Amino acid sequence: MSWYRNTVWFVKGLREYTRGGYESASKHFNPADVEVDVAGRSFLVTGANSGIGKATAKEIARRGGTVHLVCRNKERAEVAKEEIVTETGNQNIFLHIVDISNPKEIWKFAEKFQNEHKLNVLINNAGCMVNNRELTEDGLEKNFATNTLGTYIMTTALVPLLEKAADARVITVSSGGMLVQKLNVSDLQSGNGPFDGTMVYAQNKRQQVVLTEQWAKAHRNIHFSVMHPGWADTPAVRSSMPDFYERMKNSLRTEAQGADTVLWLAVSAEATKLPSGLFFQDRQPVPTHLPLAYTHSPPEDEEKLMEMLEEFSQKFKSVSPG
């Protein structure tokens, strides 16, 4: 069955996820949706020093928003911040150095952030695709720690702050690769069998879709969405998927095209007219499963994922400083 999923996904990708797919879809966009002034609203973007995160942060800054850049590498983050301030003229750009693969750091950051700032929109963009099985200092598999547990902790830790805000939103940057994976709660850290970084990443992205659906049910005052940016030419794609990049580089979307739907979900009034918890591609909600791919999971597995992540998160919260 995996060959079927992979083949259907790749054919779909060639048609929809490339630059040509974006150009075709964008003919139906309403430019006015994102021509908005968001001065006075506060946005937090993880993984904001390059790629889709930086492109998103820059466009929000152009529209007057207060932007909190959450990045791991201080040097690269400072360069990105300077670029955003210079290009947009917006001085309300703040930098926070946090490693999203380190749950204790995220808890510490979120506790401090809640005491010092307001927040209207959280954009979970940080992610990684590590092709060999690596463990963090906490003994967590690195892809899971960053893509799934890091996203879970950042969101749940900031929900109380978002609950206080007007028109609160959470957007998670996922991937169409999740369409080839069925949720697997029996091996969250990919310790059984051969390790395939691309498939582990796709499983993490399926988990993000499930998280978004579950959060939408639990927190009715916040609008949750998850999206696929298409296949974009970003530093992450070049470093993590060099063969794919070489094959597809002439057809990849720009970073700004990849970020377009993130921006639309973050700032447009139209986005929140649609139900919370949906998966988006090119400003449209799209199915989370391929036809005949057998990737649906029973509700008890989805509940189990939430329980396991909550257990993980609380374990790290209890040893968090402060």
Active site amino acids: 201
Q: List the one residue out of 202, 184, 196 whose CA is nearest residue 13.
A: 202
- Which residues sit opposite 69 in a β-bridge? 45, 95
Q: List the one residue out of 63, 40, 9, 1 whose CA is nearest residue 268.
A: 63
* Distance separating alpha carbons of residues 233 and 231, to the nearest angstrom: 7
How far out from the chain centre does Cα 104 lie?
Answer: 20
Burial code (b: 16+ CB inside 10 Å, e: under 16) for 267-287 equals bbeebeeeebbbbbbbbeeee
* Distance separating alpha carbons of residues 320 and 322, to the nearest angstrom: 6
The alpha carbons of the chain give a radius of gyration, in whole angstroms, of 18
Sheet holding 222-228, edge to edge: 93-97, 66-71, 42-46, 121-124, 168-173, 222-228, 278-281, 284-285
DSSP 68: E
* Helix ranges restricted to H, 219-282: 235-240, 242-248, 255-267
And the tokens for 28?
Answer: 């139906």
Tokens 């402060």 correspond to: 322
Length of the chain, in residues: 322
* Distance separating alpha carbons of residues 142 and 103, to the nearest angstrom: 11
∠179-180-184 over CA atoms, to 5°?
Answer: 100
Q: List the one residue out of 87, 107, 86 whose CA is nearest residue 98.
A: 107
Tokens 């377009």 correspond to: 260
